[in-house]
Amino acid sequence: MRYKMSTTAGNLILAGALLFGSGAAIAQSAGQNDAQIQSDVMKALDKKQFKDVQAKVENGTVTLTGTVDVYGEKEDADKKAHHRKGVRAVDNEIQVAGPQVEDQTLQAKLGEKLEYDRVGYGTTTFNAITIGVQNGVVTLGGTAYGPVDKDSALSLVANYPGVKDVVDNIEVAPLSPNDDRIRIMEARAIYGFPSLSRYGMDPGKPIRISVVNGNVTLWGVVDSQSDKDTANIRANGVPGVFKVINNLEVAGKNPKS
């Protein structure tokens, strides 16, 4: 007995076959794309600092694994992967395998480096960047005079041995001619005063003056309570200042006391 297949059933089988073939072709194409992306990423990472880094790609998502010596290299690898054609996302699982440095030691070393960062560019006095370290994770806060100052601080920390991660909480002071006027006047009022002039001699250890929308914050370390109080009075005497926050610390005195 012969069975005759209906036209409808035949069409369904044909459509299914075409769909299966199309799906297989798409999967093959995706696999080829992933292989090409992986090749491109590995070429971009073909540098000495990335010798222990591997990349795998699935559906356009790049997973980076392995180790680098400093955190900045982990960030750099991430950027290089993101910039490859066809990459949809990057999962950065690279570990920083550099030296283990005690948090207190690391914070002190980074503080010394940041004190003199961009000395000679005329903005050091107006950068007030804070540092916190916990389990090798460095948190930067405070205010930077401009985006270049912020980027410089972040780069310095990211490429310092012992740093495992960086949390960026630095705010950039907005562009303001009025704030610039206040900065100059504050510097003159403070450093021009005889008992405070010595704080302008070491470019890395000034009384730092942060100005945002007419509000002034003083940062740094002074030798005595008298110097702290004098700086506060001088800062408040500048015309156009809305408020002065005095965060100056007195050397040898517990900041919390």
Instruction: List, for residues 140-167, the tens digit of each pLDDT value.
Output: 999 999 999 999 999 999 999 999 999 9
Tokens of 115: 């004190």
Q: Cβ contacts of residue 24 below 8 Å, gap of 6+? A: none
For the whole model, what pTM was predicted? 0.78
Q: Cβ contacts of residue 131 below 8 Å, gap of 6+? A: 107, 110, 111, 114, 138, 139, 140, 157
Picking from 1, 62, 7, 59, the residue whose alpha carbon sits closest to that of residue 33 is 59
Task: Provide the pLDDT for residue 146.
Answer: 93
Q: Which residues of the chain are in CATH 3.30.1340.30 domains?
A: 7-96, 103-172
Does the domain spanning 103-172 belong to CATH 3.30.1340.30? Answer: yes
Architecture of domain 7-96: 2-Layer Sandwich (3.30)
Q: Is the pLDDT of residue 27 over 50?
A: no
Give the chain's mean pLDDT.
Answer: 87
Give 199-257 pLDDT, tens digit per residue: 988 877 789 999 999 999 999 999 999 999 999 999 999 999 999 999 999 987 765 54
Task: Provide the pLDDT for residue 16.
Answer: 53
Quick one: average pLDDT of 40-59? 93
Q: How far apart are CA 32 and CA 59, in angstroms?
A: 10
